[in-house]
Amino acid sequence: MTASADKFTRQTLLDVRPLTPNLFSLRVTRDPGFRFRAGQFARLGVSKADGSVVWRAYSMVSAPHDEYLDFFSIVVPGGEFTSELSRLAQGDSLLIDRQAFGYLTLDRLPPGRDLWLLATGTGIAPFMSILQDFEVWERFDNIKLVYSVREAAELAYVAEIAGLEQRDYLAEYAGKLQFIPVVTREAYPGALTARITQLIERGELERAAGLELSPEHSRIMLCGNPQMIDDTRQVLKARDLQLNLSKRPGQVAVENYW
């Protein structure tokens, strides 16, 4: 640990807050030298009793301009990282890599009119960061945030999403964002009920959004479990919406750090 100490900083846990029965947020201090683009992730480390460190990747929920760092985590029963994390209290230390990682950033997408943010579970985290940043509101005419969970109790940050356009620096962009919740295992008012892939295949997602998915206008970001990303990419590919690569420009960007 001593040999690699130049690769991380030791930060202080400011708050651990339950958001749903099995999900919680972390707020930690931010090193003045830590820089990131909205949508990126950092590696967090917690020390075990034997002195070893357990590392996990977490997307920043907070905006690049915030003085602190927010993260969003699921409780994993018996999980090595969350088990250690559950023992920490306000004022305890966490380790954070000095460098941010990831390519789920707006600069990975070519210009377009409509932005679709498709998330499952804790995959909402990078999109919360992106939506708190000024750039996305300037760049796109329409923003569709699609957030899929199994049960309604797992819908996190709903109040924060609703309040985004009331923020002073975003007020002039009111009306650009539409939040489309998806709850797959129970009925929930205002929510769609099928998996994201099925919603796209059936045209239900486009009907709910009042907007067509098209190679010309649509730019799409995916974040969630690996199966969701793989399945959704295939459904989008059938609509001629391709992953954006340096050798082949496309309309889709993904993050998958599981």
Q: Report the CATH number of the 5-97 domain.
A: 2.40.30.10
The stretches of the chain forming alpha helices (DSSP H) are: 80-85, 124-131, 134-139, 158-163, 196-202, 204-209, 226-237
In 3D space, the residue among 75, 90, 84 whose CA is nearest the CA of residue 46 turns out to be 84
In tens, the pLDDT along 180-212 reads: 999 999 999 999 999 999 999 999 999 999 999
Going from the C-alpha of 218 to that of each of 81, 91, 175, the distances in angstroms are 37, 44, 18
Mean pLDDT of 102-131: 96
Domain boundaries, given as residue ranges, for the chain: 5-97, 106-255
Contact 220, 130 (CB under 8 A): no
Given this model, what pLDDT does residue 257 score?
Answer: 55
pLDDT, tens digit, 9 for 90 and up, residues 135-147: 999 999 999 999 9
Domain 106-255 listed as CATH 3.40.50.80: yes
Region of residue 82 (left: phi > 0; alpha: psi -120 to 50; beta: else) = alpha
Question: pTM of this prediction?
Answer: 0.94
Q: What are the C-alpha distances in Å from 45 to residues 20, 87, 92, 129?
A: 23, 13, 12, 21
- Rounded to whole angstroms, the Cα distance separating 167 from 245 reads 34
**What is each CA distance from 51 to 45, 46, 64, in whole angstroms?**
12, 10, 32
Return the DSSP state at 182: E
